[in-house]
Structure 1
Amino acid sequence: MIAGNINFLNLATLPKSLYCILSRPEINFNILKNQLDGRYQLDGEKWFYNINESYTSPEQERHTEFHKQFLDIQLILSGEEIIRYSLTDSTNEQCYEKKTDLFILENPRLNNFIHLTAGDFVTFYPGEPHQALCMVDVRNKVRKAVFKVPIDII
């Protein structure tokens, strides 16, 4: 897991492949926050991103997930959320596949959290469990871009 702010990419110690994605002119924060909700994939790229709006809720109501084929970069465009996570590999834990490459843990053990606001991002590598959209104090709206990066280009 790596965290940072899109406006200070050089401080995030990202691998070159991820730095190159987030530093592209088309991935400018102002451009992203003004894009319509939807799925976007730049010509010739294997990675893509989704922009959508969701609402936070209490952690007890949120599922914990991990992926096997894609790394997530979750970039907050507006609002704030807490993402709970663990620094362990959940690949062999009891889970079910809700949809392609979205594995839901049945008995998650998450002992860390990060509070994200507009401009902040966090990466989750394959196997890293995370529980997004946990509320800070009250339910609120969060708009974010979630980048899906295939593991073979990391």
Structure 2
Amino acid sequence: MIYGDIHQPEAAGLPAGLLDALRQALALAPEQLSSGRHELAGTACFMNVMHYSTQLPDTKKAELHRQYVDVQVVLSGEEQIFYGAAGSARECEEWHDAEDYQLCQHIDNQQTLTLRAGMFAVFMPGEPHKPGCTMGRESEVKKAVIKVPCEEATG
């Protein structure tokens, strides 16, 4: 997991492919886009823009991916993300190949990250993460999740 600020993304030390995908997504002004999928031109990358209310962590499951790196950008609001190292997901459900995800009940040695508007977090394949968690009170969040195929991540 890597995190940083969208105003200085290079300071996070992202590989070139992830940095390029983040910059291209931000150039589309995701804060002004409607919810849904938006393609990033000239790549196999895409961005899902979403709006939701945070929830209690106990009501949510962690997710894993194999084919894509997740770059999660909070555009407005704030949330906590619970996460763990690769291989720390437990009590996992069936794998959904077509959508590239698996849900899990538990993360061993779970850590917590607080993201506020203008911050991003990067989750590599195999790293369990549970975004959209409340920080004591419900918050409305607008977020962009940039999906970068593993082969394009290093650029």
Normalised by the size of structure 2, how large is the TM-score? 0.89
Matches within 5 A, 1:5-154: 5-24=5-24, 27-28=26-27, 31-90=29-88, 94-97=92-95, 100-154=99-153
Query: Which amino acid is 2:93 matched to?
Result: C
Name the CA shift for 1:122/1:92 in 2 (closer, same or farther; >3 Å): same
Gaps in structure 2 of 5+ consecutive residues: none
Counterpart amino acid of 1:124?
A: F
Q: Is the 8 A contact 2:45 2:146 kept in 1?
A: yes
Q: How many residues align?
A: 152
Q: 1:71 & 1:59 partners in 2: Cα distance?
A: 22
SS at match of 2:17: helix
Letter in 2 for 1:48: F
**Shift of the alpha carbon at 1:76?**
0.2
Deviation string, structure 1 residues 81-115 (Cα, Å, up to 9, x no partner): 00000123257974323562110114332521100
Q: Which moved more, 1:52-61 or 1:84-93?
A: 84-93
Shift >6 Å, 4+ stretches: none
Query: Quick one: which amino acid aligns to residue 11 of structure 2?
Result: L
**Does the CA-based 8 Å contact 2:47-2:146 persist in structure 1?**
yes
State the distance in 2 between where 1:51 and 1:7 align: 19
The CA distance in 2 between the partners of 1:121 and 1:131, in whole Å, is 14
Residues 15, 108 of structure 1: CA spacing in aligned structure 2 closer, same or farther, 3 A cutoff? same
Percent sequence identity is: 32
Q: Assess if the C-alpha contact under 8 Å between 2:84 and 2:111 holds in 1.
A: yes
Task: Judge conservation of contact 1:68–1:91 (CA < 8 Å) in 2.
Answer: no
Length-normalised TM-score, structure 1: 0.90
